[in-house]
């Protein structure tokens, strides 16, 4: 009996050692039962849709941190726990609001929404100011020669040239400040994002959350977005010689709240490479309940977010466990971020306040998705852009999965997930997503719907997805080849600056 036990242990150690020394797919210790249990908690009604800064969101964060502690992940140096706390300003929308432009009466909710600002009743002139953007480095100034004092300023969305929603949403606060500094009484952005107005209004028309810096003061101007309406075209606004605006709002209620990123660090095994880090990310927040999330029914008002993104969070947790059991050469940062659904705010906060210097991070491997329609595949947002194609092919091959590169290109998905927060800093980054080719009826059936529940998940597929993600992480973390932006990529220069390369 002792000999038999010794033999089993010896074989186990041999297999373990072999797996440590190669990128051959190991037998991962997680299983369908564990995965289902994790999903049934993270996507449970008890977590109430995991909306950022909610009780359910905090419960999910504690759950993730407990797993990281159990797997042996340490907090980053200087931190006493696994939470990177983020201050948010939570604003409740006005009880009532109205807007009229050149006699066209606009309906609150369907035609416009107000995102922030005090109570106001005003009749004022309107003025169009391009994108309402100022950049000293490029000498760009949309306000040059314009007098906006006491006026309502209409602008195109985002900074000039920005097409991805993340950049447009990320510029909101700066654009509001620019208009406020010049004496405007209101800023109105013209809606031109690549998804339905109803989705945008559902997110931002209710309670709004924005990262709050400690020295930040409350805004004194009204900040709104205007939808396309038959009675008033955007062309009319941009070309009109005169714009007369009537605006009223009962104002916002503003409170300070807190949410958190969850982060853990695992040291690599190689004496030289362990000072380089693979950053693995997934967002654990979702959109909440009732009007916070969108369309709901009398019988179900909880947006459980099984696919988006309990699916990715579970892949992150199981990958963390697999890498801890057989540590790779490079060190690992596991980062579960909050605030993705309200503008990639958690990942952007970490990128601006890194707990490990960004130039030590060789790659950001994010996992996120809207759902799946092809269980024989995974989808990659950023295929061909970071020199990792061969690594990813090696990562998924043992599990008989094909790769769909950059699905639904019209959706701009690379710039709609947390990978872009790190790409902007220069870190090669991409998103590993469940298999689909387009935003078809099968994807939209559950995407941001109350039907996206644990009971609807294909657990055999989720298991193999977790395995493929974990093995791909191991391949990248052990590779002698560093990821790098493709020549001519829009983030190439940022990468050269970050890593100080010519």
Instruction: Report the alpha-carbon distance of residue 139 to residue 224 in Å, rounded.
Output: 27
Residue 2 has pLDDT above 50, yes or no: no
Mean pLDDT value across residues 228-242? 91
**Residue 1 pLDDT level (bands cut at 50, 70, 90):** very low
**What are the strands, taking DSSP E only, across 194-242?**
208-211, 222-226
Q: Strand 97-101 and strand 243-249: pairing?
A: antiparallel
Six-digit token string for 468: 């493929």
pTM: 0.81
Q: Strand 277-283 and strand 140-141: pairing?
A: unpaired
Q: Are the C-beta atoms of residues 259 and 338 closer than 8 Å to each other?
A: yes
- The residues with which 125 forms a beta bridge, in sequence order, are 244
**Residue 17 pLDDT level (bands cut at 50, 70, 90):** very low
Instruction: Report the alpha-carbon distance of residue 491 to residue 40 in Å, rounded.
Output: 38
pLDDT of residue 295: 80
pLDDT of residue 82: 98
Mean pLDDT value across residues 214-228? 82
pLDDT of residue 27: 57
Of the CA atoms within 13 Å of residue 391, those in its CB half-sphere come to 27
Cis ω before 255 (30° cut-off from 0): no
**Residue 352 pLDDT level (bands cut at 50, 70, 90):** very high
Residue 14 has pLDDT above 80, yes or no: no
**Residue 502 pLDDT level (bands cut at 50, 70, 90):** low
Six-digit token string for 151: 């006026």
Instruction: Report the alpha-carbon distance of residue 364 to residue 427 in Å, rounded.
Output: 7
**Residue 137 pLDDT level (bands cut at 50, 70, 90):** confident
Average pLDDT taken over every residue of the chain = 91
Lowest-pLDDT range, 14-23, 88-97, 323-332, 457-466? 14-23
Residue 327 has pLDDT above 80, yes or no: yes
Residue 11 has pLDDT above 60, yes or no: no
Q: For residue range 183-200, what is the model confidence (pLDDT) as tens digits?
A: 999 999 999 988 889 888
- The domain 94-251 is classified under which CATH number: 3.30.360.10, 3.50.30.30, 3.60.15.10, 3.30.70.860? 3.50.30.30
Q: For residue range 371-420, what is the model confidence (pLDDT) as tens digits?
A: 999 999 999 999 999 999 999 999 999 999 999 999 999 888 999 999 99
Mean pLDDT value across residues 252-264? 93
Topology of domain 23-86+259-499 in CATH is Aminopeptidase (3.40.630)
Q: Helix 459-478 and helix 32-42: axis angle, to 10°?
A: 100
pLDDT of residue 15: 40
Residue 143 has pLDDT above 90, yes or no: yes
Q: Are the C-beta atoms of residues 152 and 186 closer than 8 Å to each other?
A: yes
Residue 366 has pLDDT above 80, yes or no: yes
Six-digit token string for 48: 């109430």
pLDDT of residue 8: 37
Residue 223 has pLDDT above 80, yes or no: yes
pLDDT of residue 7: 38
Q: Helix 55-71 and helix 32-42: axis angle, to 10°?
A: 150
Phi, psi of 122 (to 5 degrees): -145, 145
Identical fold, 23-86+259-499 and 94-251 = no
The enclosing H or E element of 190 equals: strand 186-190
Q: Are the C-beta atoms of residues 192 and 157 closer than 8 Å to each other?
A: yes
pLDDT of residue 10: 39
Q: Which of 432, 463, 435 is nearest to 363 (CA)?
A: 432
CA 192, 194, 195, 196 torsion: positive or negative?
Answer: positive
In the block, which residue shows the tokens 């038999």?
4
**Residue 20 pLDDT level (bands cut at 50, 70, 90):** very low
Q: For residue range 26-37, what is the model confidence (pLDDT) as tens digits?
A: 556 778 999 999
Is residue 346 helix, strand or coil? helix
Mean pLDDT value across residues 360-377? 97
pLDDT of residue 21: 41
User: So where are the chain's domains?
Assistant: 23-86+259-499, 94-251
Q: Are the C-beta atoms of residues 310 and 56 closer than 8 Å to each other?
A: no
pLDDT of residue 254: 84
Phi, psi of 150 (to 5 degrees): 75, 15
CA distance readout (Å), 224 to 62, 232, 241, 271, 306: 35, 16, 22, 54, 32
Instruction: Report the alpha-carbon distance of residue 112 to residue 304 in Å, rounded.
Output: 28
pLDDT of residue 4: 38
**Residue 263 pLDDT level (bands cut at 50, 70, 90):** very high
Long-range contacts (CB closer than 8 Å, 24 or more residues apart) made by 8-16: 16/326
């Amino acid at each position: 009996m002792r000999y038999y036990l010794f033999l089993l242990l010896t074989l186990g150690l041999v297999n373990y050692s072999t797996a440590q020394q190669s990128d051959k797919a190991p037998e991962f210790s997680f299983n369908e039962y564990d995965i289902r249990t994790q999903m049934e908690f993270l996507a449970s009604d008890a977590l109430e849709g995991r909306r950022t800064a909610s009780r359910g969101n905090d419960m999910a964060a504690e759950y993730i941190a407990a797993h990281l502690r159990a797997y042996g992940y340490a907090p980053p140096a200087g931190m006493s726990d696994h939470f990177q706390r983020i201050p948010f300003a939570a604003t409740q929308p006005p009880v009532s609001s109205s807007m009229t432009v050149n006699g066209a009466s606009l309906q609150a909710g369907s035609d416009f929404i107000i995102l922030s600002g005090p109570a106001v009743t005003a009749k004022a002139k309107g003025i169009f100011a391009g994108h309402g953007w100022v950049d000293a480095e490029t000498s760009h100034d949309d306000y040059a020669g314009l007098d906006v004092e006491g006026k309502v300023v209409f602008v195109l969305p985002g900074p000039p040239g920005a097409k991805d929603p993340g950049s447009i949403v990320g510029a909101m606060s700066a654009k509001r400040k620019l208009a406020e500094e010049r004496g405007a009484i209101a800023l109105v952005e013209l809606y031109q994002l690549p998804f339905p107005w109803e989705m945008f209004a559902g997110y931002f028309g209710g309670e709004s959350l924005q990262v709050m810096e400690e020295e930040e003061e409350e805004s004194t101007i009204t900040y709104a977005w205007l939808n396309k309406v038959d009675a008033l075209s955007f062309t009319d606004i941009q070309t009109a010689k005169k714009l007369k605006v009537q605006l009223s709002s009962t104002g916002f209620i503003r409170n300070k709240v807190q949410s958190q990123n969850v982060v853990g660090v695992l040291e690599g095994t190689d004496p030289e490479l362990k000072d380089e880090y693979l950053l693995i990310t997934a967002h654990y927040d979702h959109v909440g309940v009732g009007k916070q999330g969108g369309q709901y029914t009398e019988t179900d008002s909880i947006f459980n977010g099984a696919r988006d993104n309990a699916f990715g969070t579970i892949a992150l947790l199981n990958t963390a466990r697999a890498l801890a059991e057989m540590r790779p050469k490079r060190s690992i940062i596991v980062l579960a971020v909050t605030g993705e659904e309200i503008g990639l705010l958690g990942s952007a906060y970490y990128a601006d306040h890194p707990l490990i210097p960004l130039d030590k991070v060789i790659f950001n491997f994010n996992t996120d998705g809207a759902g799946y329609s092809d269980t024989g595949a995974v989808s990659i947002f950023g295929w061909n852009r970071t020199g990792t194609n061969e690594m990813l092919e090696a990562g998924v091959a043992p599990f008989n999965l094909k790769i769909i590169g950059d699905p639904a290109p019209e959706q701009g998905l690379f710039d709609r997930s947390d990978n872009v927060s790190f790409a902007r800093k220069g870190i090669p980054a991409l998103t590993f997503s469940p298999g689909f080719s387009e935003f078809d009826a099968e994807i939209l059936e559950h995407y941001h719907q109350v039907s996206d529940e644990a009971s609807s998940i294909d657990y055999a597929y989720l298991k193999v997805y977790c395995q493929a993600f974990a093995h791909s992480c191991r391949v990248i973390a052990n590779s002698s080849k560093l990821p790098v932006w493709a020549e001519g990529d829009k983030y190439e220069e940022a990468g050269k600056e970050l890593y100080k390369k010519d």
